[in-house]
Structure 1
Amino acid sequence: MNKTIRTLWQHNRLLVIAFAIALSLTIVFGVRTTAFFIYWSAHQDVPVAGWMPAGYVAKSYRVEIETVREALGLDPQDRDRRPIARIAADRGVPVDELIGRVNAALREARADEATDGQ
């Protein structure tokens, strides 16, 4: 085994380096994908809270992000990443009011999804 590796290193150094880089990237992205899968499997339908940005809510409830952005009164195409609490503070509205709007939009989206699936 060592002789094979030594021979490859001596005659195909760039190929061995490229293979090592490719193997390292495969491992890194494989671990990252697995970690994301495990995280989001355990964080589905998390109760909406003020610290959550629109994207987190959309991913947790598996709805389009535009649905959540519209419920928050944001432009659906805007890339606003502020948490719900900051949006409420900027508008001078209670956080619970915005959370209520988001929850209503989520219920509506789920009801639409249920009727579309039948």
Structure 2
Amino acid sequence: MKPFLRLWQRHRILTSAFVLAMALAIFFAGRTIFFVVYWADPARQDLPPEPWMTIGYVAHSWHVPVEKLARDLDLPPPPKDGPRPSLERLAEDRGVTFEAFKAEIEASIMDLRRQGPPR
């Protein structure tokens, strides 16, 4: 503990920057581990579309490119930042029932899967 206190007394700014960098590294490592564990769970693979899901969530679950799925459904690509509309909201905006929209999504997913892995 004494070497750290000595370092703190001599180089407060550098020590603070180092501690901040370590905290950020731990945060992003933890976040990465969380997402890897979350999406590796077999219960999250090939989930049928639900009203609360987004296009990105469905695409990730089915391992298809979100841009191609959105294009097949005549939707703009989902924004990188900001709110993403739910499937239920997208169906309402189209003026169709969720079940009809779900059938479109499933047909598009099957078509994308037949095309093979994304390039």
Q: TM-score, normalized by length of structure 2?
A: 0.83
Give the share of equivalent positions with the same residue, in percent.
35
Give aligned pairs, total: 114
1:102 paired residue among 102, 105, 111: 105
Q: Whose radius of gyration is greater, 1 or 2?
A: 1
Alignment partner of 1:83 out of 78, 81, 86: 86
Structure 1: give runs of 5+ residues left out of the alignment.
none
For each residue in 1:72-111, what CA deviation from the matched residue of structure 2 results, as whole angstroms up to 9, or x when unmatched? 3313x46382111112122221111111111111111111
Q: Give yes or no for contact 2:56–2:78 (8 Å, CA) kept in 1.
A: no
TM score, norm. by length of structure 1: 0.83
Alpha-carbon contact 1:71-1:101 (below 8 Å) kept? no
Q: How does 1:38-53 map to 2 (within 5 A)?
A: 38-42=37-41, 43-53=44-54
What does residue 63 of structure 1 align with? 64
Structure 2: which 5+ runs fail to align? none
Cα distance, 1:36 vs. partner?
0.9
Query: Following TM superposition, where does structure 1 have runs of at least 4 consecutive aligned residues deviating by more than 6 angstroms?
Result: none
Q: Does 1:111 align with 2:114?
A: yes
Determine helix, strand or coil for the equivalent of 1:100. Answer: helix
